[in-house]
């Protein structure tokens, strides 16, 4: 037993491997937030009037909102005036080939093991790489354009497709939805925009890598995905952040709109800098993600692997409006050292015969706290709806916590909702069994953790699953995983 | 809950000023043990006020509308005529019990003296015992309730004058159960505050059955607090049958503190009533203690039943088991919030919780919020919650055996509830509750439904 504790300790005390910063020339504005800053952001991005109004509306509502305190998190007070709300690499990036890209930037990607060219060749993935707010490179754009798919940075979409942006922005996440969504709506710098026209199946997986880079800049990404009738898209989002001492705020918004019989798969691997072993530093990840299944028989599925961030506050949700629509949520959340995570989902059943599935796997180690918080709400009109939720927590060590806060509200007699949750540690008998077969305790823990998360990892697209496993290893470190 | 709107403030002020205006009447005749806490409690109540939807713990039960109504408050014992024949109707056949009567939250002055009680056992009214034997009360009263942040508990502490008291000394096993019959009887709407205190000494054993009834059709609001202390090696059973008229609203908070190797079983059956909120807090404060917590409710019309449990595993090697079942018909609303909290270092804990609900109509609504807060690693904890219907296949199976659909449905619902009922450790009581539930499901509980005995 002592031996096992020792290994657990070793395994969970590894330092963050991806901590490095890239020196790029940055174009920033002064710290602080007020209407002038918002006007400045909007002007810098040469936005049309409706976007400025959208931002100002959000900002005015945000001013009246209190910081939410209901989550099972200890959030140190955040000085919103001490943040730079806009940072962009100075060189306006418009590259024709990879050779023109800032070599230092390419190096950054190489260190992360996600070189653009490799992705391009091996995976056939179009990468819209975002470094601190402005899209630097978009590949495969032409291939996608042939099919009528629009995949570009948010600012580009605002310039080139303002009608689409105007129609759909704020549809899933209204400006005043919550404190952080309102903040994002007011100051968001850039993000991705994706539009799949009617009947088109996107031939490749779309992917964006987010990366916080400039010191003292919060990153406010905004992603909007629209899938028209009978279309399909699989979207990947992944992030790693370099080591910083000072806490960084990340408040992103992701909106997905699925029309009749459309399907959207959204996968995330999140590995922001979690802070060091003393709990110093780390990214605050306060994200609002929501999809609306507006059309009948539409489907939205969220898959996430959360390994990073000092504090995670994230609830990817589905509003199942269309009849027969389907929502899915698959999550692995790992917390270590002093990390805190309060994450889960909301499934709002509005249409008839709607179905949702929730699989959540939490792994806590060190002195961390890992909470699942979820809502399943079946409205009276959502007859014959079905939900199944399973939330499991695994505790590694006696100083961490695992918590479950599910909310289930059902308003009609024909719906069936089931929820189950378990909390346990790795069984001594399981480890003993592995030892007996000649597998070291360290490897055994790795195998068991991996097996435990497999159900969710399997839902990730191939290319991503590999990276996800790697990140799982880094968070609990090398030997585990 | 720092942001209170003007309307809430007015409501809360009504109760605080009621307190200050009647402070003298409240203190009169009460033991200093009760009086010394009143003002602190009302201040605590003032802070949060009557909980509404905004209070996370009362998310699914808004108490404000029922507290906004006008009630008459009773600050001293009033003799209420009760036909003792009515009391005997609550009798459990085949079960020999000591019967104790409380009317409108007050210990009934004409209760027969329980002469055959073993030496040292004290059963009586809280007010009287606190005055005559303060040594039995002072070490226990408010020792659990004061730790609660529930404003309703504070309100009770501020207003409470009387209730049921029971003390069983070390090593005494009480064979016969005590049956406490809580009657509400008044011509006008009344507000009752009842405070119960039960103490089980080391290695003692007792069983208590609480029966809540209304004798008249008026509107009632009761705000009750029960504190139970289970010393080491003690075994305590506490059963509650709530069967009141549909305008009788109540908020009941029960606290249980268990010492080493103690065993507790508490089971609540809610048959009829208005808005009912049951809070159960159990603290497993000694190693190897065990708690079983069961509850069931059968609701129709506009009934609202909310069961809220919080099981705190404060020491290692404790086990707990919770099962709550609800059957909801017509426009009724049900809620369940159950929490298992395993504190740091409470290793080798095993805690289970289950909540199953059946919705019979589209206008009934069920909200459930099971929660796990786990701060120790060597534990086995799980919870499960389901909301659904009677299994159509099981129904079909019974019908193929020549049983009509209505009967088959009834059988299945009875079986659904029976899982909770079968855990009752007193056989005659188990049969009695089985029968009551069966009648309730058949809609035959008309007498108890209105509980109008005239």
CB < 8 Å to A417, chain B: 385-388
Residue in the structure block whose two tokens are 């990817």: A316
Tokens matching residue A80: 């919103």
Residues 144-163 of A with CB under 8 A from B: none
Residues 6+ apart with CB under 8 A from B144: B227, B229, B255, B256, B257, B281, B283
Nearest C-alpha of chain A: how many angstroms from B4?
Answer: 14
Q: Which of A472-476, B9-13, B342-346 has the lowest mean pLDDT?
A: A472-476
Tokens matching residue A5: 């504790």
Tokens matching residue A395: 């505790």
- Tally Cβ neighbours within 10 Å of residue A197: 15
Question: CB–CB of A377/A388 below 8 Å?
Answer: no
CB contact under 8 A, B384 and A419: yes
Report the mean per-residue pLDDT for chain A: 80
- Tally Cβ neighbours within 10 Å of residue B79: 10
- Does the pLDDT value for residue A366 go beyond 90? no
C-alpha closest to that of A315 among A351, A272, A360: A360
The full DSSP string for B45-110 is: HHHH-S--TTSGGGTT---HHHHHS--EE--S-------HHHHHHTPPTT---EEEEEETTEE-TT
Q: Which of A89-98, A170-179, A373-382, B373-382 has the lowest mean pLDDT?
A: A89-98
Find, in chain B, the residue whose alpha carbon is nearest to that of A388: B386
Higher-pLDDT residue of B77 and B189 is: B189
CB of B379 within 8 Å of any CB in chain A?
yes
- Taking the C-alpha atoms of residue B341 and residue B260, their distance in angstroms, rounded to an integer, is 18
C-alpha closest to that of B307 among B283, B326, B331: B326
C-alpha closest to that of B367 among A318, A379, A342, A358: A379
- Does the pLDDT value for residue A282 go beyond 60? yes
CB of B350 within 8 Å of any CB in chain A?
no
- Does the pLDDT value for residue B171 go beyond 50? yes
Q: Which of A56-60, A304-308, A462-466, B156-160 has the lowest mean pLDDT?
A: A462-466
CB < 8 Å to A398, chain B: 344-345, 347, 376-378
Residues 6+ apart with CB under 8 A from A36: none
Q: How far is CA B139 from the centre of its chain?
A: 23
CB contact under 8 A, B382 and A412: no
CB contact under 8 A, A425 and B379: yes
Q: Quote the pLDDT of residue B174.
A: 93
CB < 8 Å to B384, chain A: 418-421
pLDDT class for A11, splitting at 50, 70, 90?
Answer: low
Q: A156 exposed, middle or buried (CB, 10 Å; 0-12, 13-18, 19+)?
A: middle
Nearest C-alpha of chain B: how many angstroms from A10?
Answer: 17
Q: Length of chain A, please?
A: 481
CB < 8 Å to B372, chain A: 393, 402-404, 421, 423
Find, in chain B, the residue whose alpha carbon is nearest to that of A394: B377
What are the pLDDT digits (tens) for A430-460? 889 999 999 988 778 877 888 888 888 888 8
Q: What is the DSSP letter of A178?
A: S
From the list B344, B372, B377, which residue is nearest A403 (CB)?
B372
pLDDT mean over B351-370: 93
Residues 6+ apart with CB under 8 A from A364: A334, A335, A336, A370, A393, A394, A395, A396, A397, A400, A401, A402
Q: What percent of chain B has pLDDT over 90?
A: 67
From the list A404, A409, A412, which residue is nearest B372 (CB)?
A404
| Helices B151-159 and B32-48, axial angle in degrees (round to 10) | 150
Report the mean per-residue pLDDT for chain B: 89
pLDDT mean over A143-151: 85
Residue in the structure block whose two tokens are 């056989």: B427
- Does the pLDDT value for residue A108 go beyond 80? no
- Taking the C-alpha atoms of residue A202 and residue A234, their distance in angstroms, rounded to an integer, is 8
Q: Quote the pLDDT of residue B446.
A: 46
- Does the pLDDT value for residue A351 go beyond 90? yes
CB < 8 Å to B365, chain A: 380, 409-411
Q: Quote the pLDDT of residue B210.
A: 93
Task: Tell me how far CA of residue B136 lies from CA of A373, B123, B199, in angstroms.
Answer: 44, 11, 9
Question: CB–CB of B451/B245 below 8 Å?
Answer: yes
Residue in the structure block whose two tokens are 């391009």: A120
Helix (H) / strand (E) element for A61: namely: helix A49-63
Helix (H) / strand (E) element for A164: namely: helix A162-168
Q: Where are the domains of chain B?
A: 1-259, 287-389
CB of A50 within 8 Å of any CB in chain B?
no
From the list A70, A403, A411, which residue is nearest B373 (CB)?
A403
Q: How many CA atoms lie within 13 A of B300 on its CB side?
A: 12
- Does the pLDDT value for residue A126 go beyond 60? no
pLDDT mean over B338-352: 93
CB contact under 8 A, A406 and B371: yes
CB of B133 within 8 Å of any CB in chain A?
no
Q: What is the DSSP letter of B146?
A: G
Residues 83-102 of A with CB under 8 A from B: none
Q: Quote the pLDDT of residue A205.
A: 80
CB < 8 Å to B366, chain A: 408-410
Task: Tell me how far CA of residue A77 lies from CA of A25, A80, A82, A338, B325, in angstroms.
Answer: 30, 9, 12, 17, 42
- Taking the C-alpha atoms of residue B8 and residue B275, their distance in angstroms, rounded to an integer, is 19
Residues 352-381 of A with CB under 8 A from B: 380
Q: Quote the pLDDT of residue A12.
A: 59
- Does the pLDDT value for residue A404 go beyond 80? yes
- pTM of the full predicted structure? 0.84
Q: Quote the pLDDT of residue A155.
A: 86
Residue in the structure block whose two tokens are 């899209």: A135
pLDDT class for A118, splitting at 50, 70, 90?
Answer: very low
pLDDT class for B4, splitting at 50, 70, 90?
Answer: low
Question: CB–CB of A364/A423 below 8 Å?
Answer: no
C-alpha closest to that of B211 among B235, B243, B236, B187: B243
What are the pLDDT digits (tens) for B286-320? 999 999 999 999 998 899 999 999 999 999 999 99
Q: What is the DSSP letter of A313?
A: E
Question: CB–CB of B439/B445 below 8 Å?
Answer: yes
pLDDT class for A78, splitting at 50, 70, 90?
Answer: confident
CB contact under 8 A, A412 and B379: no
- Does the pLDDT value for residue A128 go beyond 80? no
What are the pLDDT digits (tens) for A331-345? 999 888 889 999 999
The full DSSP string for B166-210 is: EEE-TT-B--SPEEEEEEE--SS-EEEEEEEEEEE-TT-EEEEEE
CB of B359 within 8 Å of any CB in chain A?
yes
Nearest C-alpha of chain A: how many angstroms from B355?
Answer: 10
Q: What percent of chain A has pLDDT over 90?
A: 40
What are the pLDDT digits (tens) for B48-75? 899 988 888 898 999 999 999 999 888 8
- Does the pLDDT value for residue A121 go beyond 90? no
Pairing of strands A346-349, A386-396: unpaired
Residues 6+ apart with CB under 8 A from B267: B238, B239, B240, B292, B293, B294, B295, B420, B423, B424
Q: How far is CA A391 from the centre of its chain?
A: 19
Residues 6+ apart with CB under 8 A from A373: A71, A72, A315, A342, A343, A344, A405, A406, A407
CB contact under 8 A, A416 and B381: no
CB contact under 8 A, A423 and B369: no
Helix (H) / strand (E) element for A237: namely: strand A232-240
Q: Quote the pLDDT of residue A110.
A: 58
From the list B56, B367, B375, which residue is nearest A408 (CB)?
B367
pLDDT class for A88, splitting at 50, 70, 90?
Answer: low
C-alpha closest to that of B160 among B251, B247, B47: B251
CB of B131 within 8 Å of any CB in chain A?
no
Q: What percent of chain A has pLDDT over 70?
A: 76
pLDDT mean over B350-375: 93
Pairing of strands B275-284, B248-258: parallel
C-alpha closest to that of B372 among A265, A383, A421, A8: A421
Find, in chain A, the residue whose alpha carbon is nearest to that of B375: A401
pLDDT class for A112, splitting at 50, 70, 90?
Answer: low
Residue in the structure block whose two tokens are 């806590």: A364
pLDDT class for B449, splitting at 50, 70, 90?
Answer: very low
CA angle, B237 as apex, B234 and B243 as ends, to 5°?
160
Tokens matching residue B107: 């210990």
Q: What percent of chain B has pLDDT over 70?
A: 94
């Amino acid at each position: 037993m002592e031996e096992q504790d020792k290994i657990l300790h070793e395994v969970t005390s590894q330092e963050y491997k991806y901590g490095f910063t890239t020196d790029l020339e940055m174009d920033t504005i002064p710290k602080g937030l007020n209407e002038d800053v918002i006007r400045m952001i909007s002007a810098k991005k040469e936005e049309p009037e409706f976007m400025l109004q959208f931002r100002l509306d959000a900002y005015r509502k945000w001013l009246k909102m209190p910081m939410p305190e209901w989550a099972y998190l200890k959030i140190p007070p955040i000085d919103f005036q001490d943040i730079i709300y806009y940072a962009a690499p100075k060189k306006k990036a418009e590259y024709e080939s990879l050779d023109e890209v800032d070599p230092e930037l390419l190096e950054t990607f190489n260190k992360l093991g996600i070189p653009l060219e490799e992705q391009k060749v091996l995976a056939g993935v179009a990468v819209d790489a975002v470094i601190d707010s402005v899209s630097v490179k978009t590949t495969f754009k032409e291939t996608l354009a042939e099919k009528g798919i629009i995949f570009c940075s948010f600012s580009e979409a605002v310039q080139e497709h303002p009608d689409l942006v105007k129609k759909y922005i704020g549809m899933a996440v209204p400006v005043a939805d919550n404190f952080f969504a309102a903040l994002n709506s007011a100051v968001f710098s850039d993000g991705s925009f994706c539009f799949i026209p009617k009947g088109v199946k996107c031939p490749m997986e779309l992917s964006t890598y987010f990366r916080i880079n400039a010191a003292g800049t919060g990153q406010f990404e905004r992603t909007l995905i629209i899938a028209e009738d009978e279309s399909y898209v699989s979207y990947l989002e992944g992030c790693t952040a370099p080591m910083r001492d000072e806490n960084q705020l990340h408040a992103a918004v992701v909106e997905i709109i699925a029309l009749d019989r459309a399907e959207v798969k959204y996968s995330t691997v999140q590995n922001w800098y979690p802070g060091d072993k003393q709990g110093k530093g780390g990214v605050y990840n306060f994200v609002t993600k929501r999809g609306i299944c507006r059309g009948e028989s539409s489907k939205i599925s969220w898959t996430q692997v959360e390994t990073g961030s000092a504090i995670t506050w994230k609830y990817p949700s589905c509003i199942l409006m269309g009849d027969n629509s389907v929502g899915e949520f698959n999550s692995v959340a790992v917390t270590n050292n002093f990390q805190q995570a309060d994450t889960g989902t909301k499934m709002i059943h509005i249409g008839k015969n709607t179905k949702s599935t929730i699989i959540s796997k939490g792994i806590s180690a060190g002195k961390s706290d890992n909470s699942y918080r979820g809502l399943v709400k079946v409205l009276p009109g959502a007859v014959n709806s079905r939900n199944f939720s399973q939330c499991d927590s695994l505790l590694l060590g006696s100083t961490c916590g695992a918590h479950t806060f599910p909310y289930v509200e059902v308003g009609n007699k024909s719906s069936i909702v089931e929820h189950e949750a378990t909390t346990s540690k790795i069984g001594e008998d399981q480890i003993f069994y592995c030892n007996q077969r000649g597998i070291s305790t360290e490897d055994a823990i790795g195998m068991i953790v991996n097996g435990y998360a497999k159900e969710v990892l399997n839902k990730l697209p191939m290319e991503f699953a590999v990276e996800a496993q790697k990140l799982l290893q880094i968070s609990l470190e090398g030997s585990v995983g | 809950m720092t942001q209170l709107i003007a309307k809430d403030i007015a409501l809360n002020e009504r109760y605080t000023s009621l307190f200050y205006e009647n402070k003298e009447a409240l203190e009169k005749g009460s033991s200093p043990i009760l009086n010394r806490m009143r003002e602190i409690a009302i201040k605590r109540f003032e802070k949060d006020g009557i909980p509404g939807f905004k209070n996370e713990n009362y998310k699914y039960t808004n108490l404000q509308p029922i507290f906004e109504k006008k009630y008459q408050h009773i600050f001293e014992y009033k003799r209420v005529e009760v036909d003792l024949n009515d009391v005997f109707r609550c009798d459990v056949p085949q079960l020999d019990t000591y019967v104790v009567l409380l009317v409108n939250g007050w210990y009934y002055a004409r209760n027969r003296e329980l002469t055959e009680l073993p030496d040292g056992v004290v059963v009586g009214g809280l007010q009287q015992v606190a005055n005559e034997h303060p040594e039995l009360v002072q070490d226990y009263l408010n020792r659990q309730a004061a730790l609660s942040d529930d404003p309703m508990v504070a309100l009770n502490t501020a207003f409470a004058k009387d209730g049921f008291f029971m003390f069983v000394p070390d090593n005494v096993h009480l064979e016969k159960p005590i049956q406490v019959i809580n009657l509400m009887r008044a011509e006008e709407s009344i507000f009752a505050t009842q405070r119960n205190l039960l103490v089980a000494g080391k290695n003692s054993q007792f069983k208590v059955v609480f029966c809540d009834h209304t004798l008249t059709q008026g509107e009632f609001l009761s705000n009750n607090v029960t504190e139970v202390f289970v010393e080491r090696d003690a075994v305590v059973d506490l059963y509650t049958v709530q069967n009141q008229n549909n305008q009788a609203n109540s908020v009941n908070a029960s606290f249980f503190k268990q010492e080493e190797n103690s065993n507790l079983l508490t089971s609540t059956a809610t048959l009829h009533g208005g808005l009912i909120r049951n809070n159960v807090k159990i603290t497993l404060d000694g190693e190897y203690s065990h708690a079983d917590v069961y509850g069931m409710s059968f609701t129709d019309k506009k009934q609202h039943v909310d069961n809220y449990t919080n099981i705190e595993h404060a020491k290692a090697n404790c086990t707990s088991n919770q099962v709550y079942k609800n059957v909801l018909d017509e426009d009724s609303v049900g809620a369940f919030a159950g929490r298992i909290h395993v504190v740091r270092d409470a290793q080798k804990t095993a805690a289970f919780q289950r909540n199953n609900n059946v919705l019979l109509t589209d206008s009934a609504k069920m909200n459930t919020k099971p929660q796990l807060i786990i701060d120790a690693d060597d534990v086995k904890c799980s919870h499960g919650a389901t909301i659904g219907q009677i299994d159509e296949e099981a129904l079909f199976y019974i019908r193929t055996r020549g049983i009509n659909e209505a009967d088959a449905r009834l059988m299945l619902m009875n079986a659904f509830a029976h899982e909770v009922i079968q855990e009752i450790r007193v056989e005659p009581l188990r049969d009695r509750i089985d029968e009551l539930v069966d009648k309730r499901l058949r809609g035959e509980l008309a007498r108890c439904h209105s509980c109008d005995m005239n």
